[in-house]
Structure formats: C-alpha cells, structure tokens
Amino acid sequence: MIGFADTKVDEKVLKEIKDGKVGSIIIFEKNIPKSNSYVALKKIIWTYQQAAAIPLFIAIDQEGGRVNRLKEKYGFPRSVSAAYAGKSKSIDTVRFYAEATAATLAGLGINVNFAPTVDLASNPNNPIIAKVERSYSADADTVSMMAKAFIEEHRKLGIVTVLKHFPGHGSSKDDTHLGIADVTNTWNVNELTPYKKLLQAGYVDGIMSAHIVNKKLDSRGLPGTLSDSILGKLLRKDIGYTGVVFSDDMQMHAITKHYGLEEAIKLAILAGVDVMTFSNNISGSEERTVDKVHGIIKKLVQNGTISEARIDQSYDRIMMLKNSFAFDKAYYQRELAEQKQQAILNRRLAMEEFKKAQAINVSKQEVTEEGPGKKSTKKRSKKKE
C-alpha cells in the first residue's frame, strides 16, 4: 500500500498500478483538491481503480474528530471523535455519524476505512490515543459495542473496516510516529477484549498492527508489526484470526529509527503482515519506492529467507477479502467489463459504417465512369486483348 504526493493523478503511480506492483492506495488530506473536492477526488480514485487488473484497496483513516481527512471545509459531512460518541452514551450517535462517513466513502470509491480504533482509553494522558479522543472508552465492553455499530454501518455500504492498533495502544505514554512506545509495564490483557468479542461475533474484516513494544508478549522487544510472537502466536493462533493484517505505516520512526528497510520488511512478512503500508507521508522518513520494496521482497524469497508459500498465504487472504461481502469485487469488474464491451461495440459499429461508406463510394465511382444506363465494356475488351 502506497501514498501519492499531489491533488492529481500521479502518472508514476498509475503505471505501477498497471504493472501490478501496487495493490492498495492510501488517501491523505494532502490528496484532496481544494475546489470541487468531492468530484475531483472521486475522479482521481476511479482513474487509479480502473487501471488495476485486480481491484485496489483504496484506504483512508477516517475515524472522525482529529483523525479526519475528509473535512467540512472541503464540503464533506461533519464527523465526530470516538470519545464524543462514547460520552454521548448513545449507540445512535455512533450509527448516525458512521452512516454519513460510510456513504461518503462509498460515493468516492474508497473501500477501506482504517477505523474503528478499538484501543482502550486506559491512559488518559496517552498523546496519540486518549488525548486526541480516538478511543470510545476505557471500558472494553463499551468499546466493543460501539465499534460493532460503526462496522455495521460501513458493511451496509460495502466498506471494509480495519480494527486498530493490535494488540493495544491505549496504555502507551509515547507516540510511535516519533519513536518506540514501550507498553511492557502498562498493557493489560483486557485490551484484547474488543478483538475477541468482535471476532466471535463475525465483525472483523481486517486488523492493523501496532508498532508498540511489549516485552511480556515478545521477549526480544520487537514492535508488534515485526513480531511473530504478537501477530503469529497471539493474534493468529491464540485468538484465531485468519484474515488480513495491515501494517501501520512502515515509515513511522518507531520502525525507521531502529530497523533498516530490508530487516523491517523481512520481519513484518515473517510475523504475518499481509499488506505493508509505505505512505511517504511521515516527516523525516526516507521515501520508499515500489521498485525498491519489491526488489527486497524478491531477493528474500530467492535466497530462501521467506518462502513462496508465505507470499501465497498473504495473497490468498487478500483475495478472500477482495471477494468478500464487504468488498464487491464484481462491481469493479462489471464497470471494467462494460467499458470494454462498449469499446468493442463502438469499434465494430465504426468498422461497419466505414465499410458502408466505402461501398457507397465505389458505387458512385462506377456510375460516374460508365454513365447512366450504360454497361461496362472493360471485361470484354480485356478478353479480346
């Protein structure tokens, strides 16, 4: 998954999509045209989507409140934070704003929302969760209930939702955008409750990994995104999740300041990440090109560090999600198929019109040469010769 830089179609990204090197796009506020925002953004998204042989994940962080790319100043509906919804103590508040968000995303062609946040507001001073109102509550049951309502409204309109940040970012004291966040002494097993409850109820489309460090869950101190103990054992084996894992941004400083690109990619894939996000949107992080990332993965497979079976495993999970009820792949296929059929029909009609025009021109030419009511003598003269 990659980001792009401007408020228009990036021709390089478009080519990478056509070449099959990009399977997902992430939208940020920097990509929203300042005028005629809805229509202009929709055109950008559909240009990318129509270039893809396999439909793209078009993703956005549209939680509401502070984490809100589609702002009112661009003409989009008002959104509210998870904390606002939690304080209202009404599930109708969650439903009302979630429905408005989902309808907006569906209209634009965005099919993945990196929300809801199911982190618990266990640390009220958490700079990246509680302080910016991204959590519904410190109570796990309340979070589970409100997240379910949020997901239901998105599912009605075919939008994939992604729970975040596994295994729980709510107790952290630090921001993983800036560096390591260690929750070893603050994390509580109760932070897994929303994941378990929603999975048991059948309401998990995707899960995003966190870059947090928890030495009680991974004795090596690897961030969650790079940890087989956290993703492979805890999430997949213990909790029983078999779906797609999206990484949080691989360019956050919790990763880039402590791990080289190749090492980070290797560990993430071996840990169980299926979709790696390189947004090129983190200040101070080196830009990561599609070719560079592909080259590293290919080398790791060729030298046996990562098996082909592991790559196929992620592919199967991704395709299953793209074929699921929450992502109407057939819709995009129909759109493309109809366009191709129309193009074929147009060419056929144009050819028939061209042939008709040629036939008419030939007839007119013969009449002109022979004159009205006269028969041609060209064949007889050739025989005599």
In this structure, the answer to whether residues 96 and 217 fall within a common structural domain is: yes
For tokens 């002109």, the residue is 368
70, part of any domain: yes
- For every one of its 385 residues, what pLDDT tens digit does the chain have, with 9 covering 90 and above? 999 989 999 999 999 999 999 999 999 999 999 999 999 999 999 999 999 999 999 999 999 999 999 999 999 999 999 999 999 978 999 999 999 999 999 999 999 999 999 999 999 999 999 999 999 999 999 999 999 999 999 999 999 999 999 999 999 987 666 667 899 999 999 999 999 999 999 999 999 999 999 999 999 999 999 999 999 999 999 999 999 999 999 988 889 889 999 999 999 999 999 999 998 877 666 677 899 999 999 999 999 999 999 999 999 999 999 988 555 544 545 566 676 677 788 888 888 887 777 777 766 666 665 555 554 444 444 444 4
Mapped onto helix, strand or coil, the DSSP state of residue 57 is strand
C-beta separation of 254 from 180 below 8 A: yes
pTM: 0.83
333, part of any domain: no
In this structure, the answer to whether residues 285 and 215 fall within a common structural domain is: yes
In this structure, the answer to whether residues 158 and 303 fall within a common structural domain is: yes
In this structure, the answer to whether residues 100 and 220 fall within a common structural domain is: yes
For tokens 């939680």, the residue is 63
For tokens 């002494």, the residue is 185
334, part of any domain: no
180, part of any domain: yes
In this structure, the answer to whether residues 268 and 200 fall within a common structural domain is: yes
In this structure, the answer to whether residues 251 and 375 fall within a common structural domain is: no
In this structure, the answer to whether residues 255 and 373 fall within a common structural domain is: no
189, part of any domain: yes
Range of the domain at 314: 11-327
- Alpha-helix residue ranges (DSSP H) falling in the chain: 11-18, 37-50, 82-88, 91-108, 140-155, 193-200, 253-256, 261-271, 290-302, 308-322, 329-370, 378-384
Number of structural domains in the chain: 2
In this structure, the answer to whether residues 357 and 319 fall within a common structural domain is: no
In this structure, the answer to whether residues 293 and 198 fall within a common structural domain is: yes
In this structure, the answer to whether residues 279 and 319 fall within a common structural domain is: yes
**Structure tokens of 220?**
């090596």
Residues in the chain: 385
2, part of any domain: no
C-beta separation of 244 from 275 below 8 A: yes
> In Å, how far are 40, 60, 187, 260, 347 from 43, measured between CA atoms?
5, 16, 43, 36, 25
In this structure, the answer to whether residues 159 and 291 fall within a common structural domain is: yes
In this structure, the answer to whether residues 285 and 364 fall within a common structural domain is: no
Burial status of residue 35 (CB atoms within 10 A of its CB: 0-12, 13-18, 19 or more): exposed
